[in-house]
Structure 1
Amino acid sequence: MNRLLLWRMLQEEVRLNSSFASRRGFWLFPLLVVGAGLLATALAAELTADVPYREVLLGLHFSFLFYGLFTGGLAFFGSDFLERIFGHYALVTSLPETQPLSYRRVIGIYFCKELLFYALFTFAPLTLGALLGTHWSFIAPERMLRLLASLLPSFCAGLAGAFLVASLYRRSLYAAVAGGTVMVLALGTLLAGDGLPQLMWYLDGSPPLPLGWGLALLPALVATLLVGEFHEQALPPVQGYREQYRETLAGSEWSRRWAVPAVVAKERLDLQRSRTGIKMVFSFAVPLSMLVFVNWFLDRGLPLEVEFNTIFWGVMVGFFGTMLYSWLNTMDDSSFYATLPLQVPDLVRARLVLFGTVTWWIPALFMGLIALLSRELRLLPLAIFVMAAVGLYVVSYTAWITGLRTNSSLYDATIFARFFLVSVPPMVLLAILSMALEQALPVVMVALSFTCLVLLLATQLFYGRIEHRWAGEEFD
């Protein structure tokens, strides 16, 4: 029965993603990963020439840890929204409501499905590409296999950490905050000691790799025990929103230049009604909390001259704004808009306005925390400006190429390639400029300001093309 449920969940995952994006683009995504693995391996010597080998490995493990946190946040915090959007379909995770199956059992298998899906969909192509790249690299094939085998537990740890925070959140907000704090402290303890077990296994074979897997899977085991024997459906409160809508509409008239105020007001009420804001904070907070920890660890915990200042993190935080926009697209089923005299661009623009006016405080809060920990409050205004420019640029381009289907559309290889080529180069440029801030302050300030102004002009261009791109699309 467990294997059957696992197989059905895998089939459901493939069908959902391939139905959101084009089927061809979905199946081309692994080929894109193969190419990325090949290039990264072939260029490894040039990319890591001036960086200590151990720090390169630590950076790789943190990257895969963040990848696990990101995918886990979408999977476990977004499951409620999948049930809401596809309410007319019976998802496998809803079986405990109609069948003699415990929710604990189903959600445990769901975690296994997520791990297996990403292992097959990303790690297997990455392994193939990396092995092909060893032909032009100094890394031996057997050493590359050992490295990838050590990276998979790091991804699993991120996935399991998101699972645990989501399970604790179902109990209370305070439990989720406490659980996330404990995991960050546990990671800090490991790094302050001998390091990550899987990293040490790669370097010298001790401790054994199963220890790394055990620590990675421990949060998932605890989360499975905490979810309970059934899925508690939250009943919507009996509350009228008519008067509140009128007040919100009156307060949204200023947005008439960029969107339809009535749609902006309705989407803002939906954000409040569905409590998506809390889940947005958590899905944004988990990876960014890890970034804050890494920032502190690099500045205080390692004897390295790494110039990751607050402006650099402003670039990173701005890029994470894509997550906030993707959450706005998962609040509710938008097909009912088809019965109204509205088009898809009206809703896309309304959600962009919502992103820029209602959710801005989430990344701004984290920027303040990073500046405080780095003792660089003097750079905070410029960092927030850089963060806003990057965030608006990336999110507006994301809205232009993905519309209302952000999460699934990025699995389309062609869309992801376009997203990568448009978003990464300016981020790399801004990151390089931020690292040179202390060497040539006036020149770098001018260059940063000019680059951000160019990004804002591009934002206006992307925003203006939304109408042409999505005018003929249907809501369903």
Structure 2
Amino acid sequence: MKVLWHLLKEEYRFHVSFSSRFAFWTFPLFSMAGALLVVVSYFKITQSMEEERLRFMLDMLMFLYGLSVGGFAFMGREAITKRRGKYNFIVATPTFLPLRFNQTMLGLYLRDLTFYQVLIMLPLVIGGLVGLIFSPMTLVEAGMLFIPMVVSFILALSLSFLLSVVFVRSPLFFAAGGLLLVAWPVFVHVHFGDGALALPPYLITASAFAGDWAGAVFFLVVSLFTSLLMVLTAYMLVPRIWSDVTISKRNNIAGALNTFGNSVMGTLLSREYVELRRSWAALKMALSFTVPL
């Protein structure tokens, strides 16, 4: 718990370092205001949009957001192999302190789970509850709106954690997992006629609105159990001890200088070009866009 607390403080300080405390704390206020507006205007929105589509869009929005913040293995490895100026990260401490690397990586997952639940999801729920004062929506209906959103975020965060760990261990298995991830909604759409059914948190809402509360509880348990299973799998795949790997790279700076020139700007562009190629930045950016799609 002490390590988790320090990880949370580290995350807060890192966010504040490139924005400000004021900008940081206004974000939960915007989330709260957005949830309040959604609840207050919910029945007006559903007059022009199908209720099921609106709920699926909200669940999918939180699912994509969870995917975007869950690349812990990428960040963990780069935090160890590269120093960001004056910053050093707790996840890098197993290289020189008696801490196990898989424990610190699990700490990263718990850090982001706690951090973003408090920063985003809790204000959403509070804003929704305040909105009930000005809306005919019932507490049960609001719960069926926000509970699947929270579960969607947790599920996506766990999935992203697992995918990033698999990629660090074996890009081949990552590619296979990515294909399965894409094939799953296609399979569901072909056999059941609705690809939205591939998202378990959405089934919580669908079952509840159909009056099947047992089904809603079942899919809630399935979603949380799947998240836990993915986290435990990722935890077992992370090595207990980090060992630095020496990788040799060709000296491509001369070829880059021939392309960009020997001026000051050309030298800077050549250096950045070589660094981007060595860090596989293009592949990581492609994955960041293609996995959510």
Compute the TM-score of the two structures, normalised by the length of structure 1: 0.54
8 Å CA contact 1:68–1:156 kept in 2: the answer is yes
Q: 1:68 aligns with which of 66, 69, 84?
A: 66
1:265 to 2:270 alignment: yes
Tell me the distance in 1 between the aligned counterparts of 2:270 and 2:90.
34
Task: Could you tell me which runs of 5 or more consecutive residues in structure 1 were left unpaired when the two chains were aligned.
Answer: 254-258, 289-476
Aligned to 1:169: 167
Tell me the distance in 1 between the aligned counterparts of 2:160 and 2:199.
19
Structural mapping, 1:8-23, within 5 Å: 8-23=6-21
Aligned to 2:214: 206
8 Å CA contact 1:156–1:216 kept in 2: the answer is yes
Aligned residue pairs total: 279
Structural mapping, 1:287-436, within 5 Å: 287-288=292-293
Tell me the distance in 2 between the aligned counterparts of 1:89 and 1:23.
18
Aligned to 1:441: none
8 Å CA contact 2:70–2:161 kept in 1: the answer is yes
> Partner letter of residue 162 of structure 1?
S
Give the number of the structure with larger relative contact order, counting CA–CA contacts within 8 Å between residues 6 or more apart. 2
- Seen in structure 2, the aligned counterparts of structure 1 residues 79 and 102 have a Cα distance that, compared at 3 Å, is closer
- Seen in structure 2, the aligned counterparts of structure 1 residues 264 and 56 have a Cα distance that, compared at 3 Å, is same
Tell me the distance in 2 between the aligned counterparts of 1:242 and 1:265.
6
Indicate the SS of the match to 1:66: helix
Aligned to 1:291: none
Q: Report the alpha carbon displacement of residue 272 of structure 1 after superposing the two structures with TM.
A: 0.9
> Partner letter of residue 144 of structure 1?
A
Q: Report the alpha carbon displacement of residue 190 of structure 1 after superposing the two structures with TM.
A: 6.1
Q: Report the alpha carbon displacement of residue 270 of structure 1 after superposing the two structures with TM.
A: 1.6
Indicate the SS of the match to 2:2: helix
8 Å CA contact 2:257–2:266 kept in 1: the answer is no
User: Deviations for 1:361-419, whole angstroms, at most 9, x for unmatched residues?
Assistant: xxxxxxxxxxxxxxxxxxxxxxxxxxxxxxxxxxxxxxxxxxxxxxxxxxxxxxxxxxx
Q: Report the alpha carbon displacement of residue 82 of structure 1 after superposing the two structures with TM.
A: 4.3
1:99 to 2:97 alignment: yes
> Partner letter of residue 34 of structure 1?
M
Tell me the distance in 2 between the aligned counterparts of 1:206 and 1:248.
65
> Partner letter of residue 61 of structure 1?
D
Indicate the SS of the match to 2:70: helix
8 Å CA contact 1:72–1:162 kept in 2: the answer is yes
Q: Report the alpha carbon displacement of residue 219 of structure 1 after superposing the two structures with TM.
A: 2.2
8 Å CA contact 1:6–1:113 kept in 2: the answer is yes
Q: Report the alpha carbon displacement of residue 121 of structure 1 after superposing the two structures with TM.
A: 0.4
Structure 1 residues 107-116 or 274-283, which shifts more?
274-283
Q: Report the alpha carbon displacement of residue 67 of structure 1 after superposing the two structures with TM.
A: 0.9
Tell me the distance in 2 between the aligned counterparts of 1:101 and 1:190.
43
> Partner letter of residue 117 of structure 1?
F
Q: Report the alpha carbon displacement of residue 244 of structure 1 after superposing the two structures with TM.
A: 2.2
> Partner letter of residue 275 of structure 1?
W
Q: Report the alpha carbon displacement of residue 181 of structure 1 after superposing the two structures with TM.
A: 2.0
Indicate the SS of the match to 2:59: helix
Structural mapping, 1:189-228, within 5 Å: 196-202=199-205, 203=208, 204-207=212-215, 208=217, 209-228=220-239
Tell me the distance in 1 between the aligned counterparts of 2:111 and 2:187.
30
Q: 1:247 aligns with which of 228, 239, 258?
A: 258
Tell me the distance in 1 between the aligned counterparts of 2:69 and 2:250.
34
Tell me the distance in 2 between the aligned counterparts of 1:92 and 1:179.
29
Tell me the distance in 1 between the aligned counterparts of 2:102 and 2:245.
17
Q: 2:285 aligns with which of 268, 272, 280?
A: 280
Aligned to 1:387: none
Q: Report the alpha carbon displacement of residue 87 of structure 1 after superposing the two structures with TM.
A: 5.8
Aligned to 1:139: 137
- Seen in structure 2, the aligned counterparts of structure 1 residues 85 and 47 have a Cα distance that, compared at 3 Å, is farther
- Seen in structure 2, the aligned counterparts of structure 1 residues 81 and 102 have a Cα distance that, compared at 3 Å, is closer
> Partner letter of residue 158 of structure 2?
A
Tell me the distance in 2 between the aligned counterparts of 1:86 and 1:280.
19
Aligned to 1:77: 74
Q: Report the alpha carbon displacement of residue 239 of structure 1 after superposing the two structures with TM.
A: 3.9
8 Å CA contact 2:32–2:123 kept in 1: the answer is yes
- CA RMSD across the alignment: 2.6
> Partner letter of residue 19 of structure 1?
S
> Partner letter of residue 273 of structure 2?
R
Q: Report the alpha carbon displacement of residue 119 of structure 1 after superposing the two structures with TM.
A: 0.5
Q: 2:183 aligns with which of 179, 182, 185?
A: 185
Task: Could you tell me which runs of 5 or more consecutive residues in structure 2 were left unpaired when the two chains were aligned.
Answer: none
Indicate the SS of the match to 1:145: helix
Tell me the distance in 2 between the aligned counterparts of 1:10 and 1:131.
27
8 Å CA contact 1:153–1:216 kept in 2: the answer is no
User: Deviations for 1:298-348, whole angstroms, at most 9, x for unmatched residues?
Assistant: xxxxxxxxxxxxxxxxxxxxxxxxxxxxxxxxxxxxxxxxxxxxxxxxxxx
> Partner letter of residue 200 of structure 1?
L
- Seen in structure 2, the aligned counterparts of structure 1 residues 238 and 231 have a Cα distance that, compared at 3 Å, is same
Indicate the SS of the match to 2:214: coil
Q: Report the alpha carbon displacement of residue 33 of structure 1 after superposing the two structures with TM.
A: 1.0
> Partner letter of residue 283 of structure 2?
I
